[in-house]
Amino acid sequence: MSLPIPLRLLLARYPSELSKVMGIIHRVISTHIVRRAGFF
């Protein structure tokens, strides 16, 4: 997965926030897949 450069720089400065951001990305992708499959 690729992130925009400003977001990469921000996460490099604050690595503790990486898990929060990855959790959000995972939730967005999962929700998209579930909705596309017609389950929600």
Quote the crossing angle between the two packed helices 18-37 and 5-13, to the nearest 10°: 140
* Domain range for 10: 5-37
Mean pLDDT, range 30-40, rounded to an integer: 92
The pTM (predicted TM-score) of the whole model is: 0.70
pLDDT at 39: 85
CA distance 40 to 25: 18
Q: Are 28 and 3 in contact (CB under 8 A)?
A: no
Q: Are 40 and 26 in contact (CB under 8 A)?
A: no
pLDDT tens readout for residues 3-17? 899 999 999 999 999
Task: Tally the domains of the chain.
Answer: 1
pLDDT at 24: 95
Comparing C-alpha atoms, which of 16, 31, 21 is closest to residue 1?
21
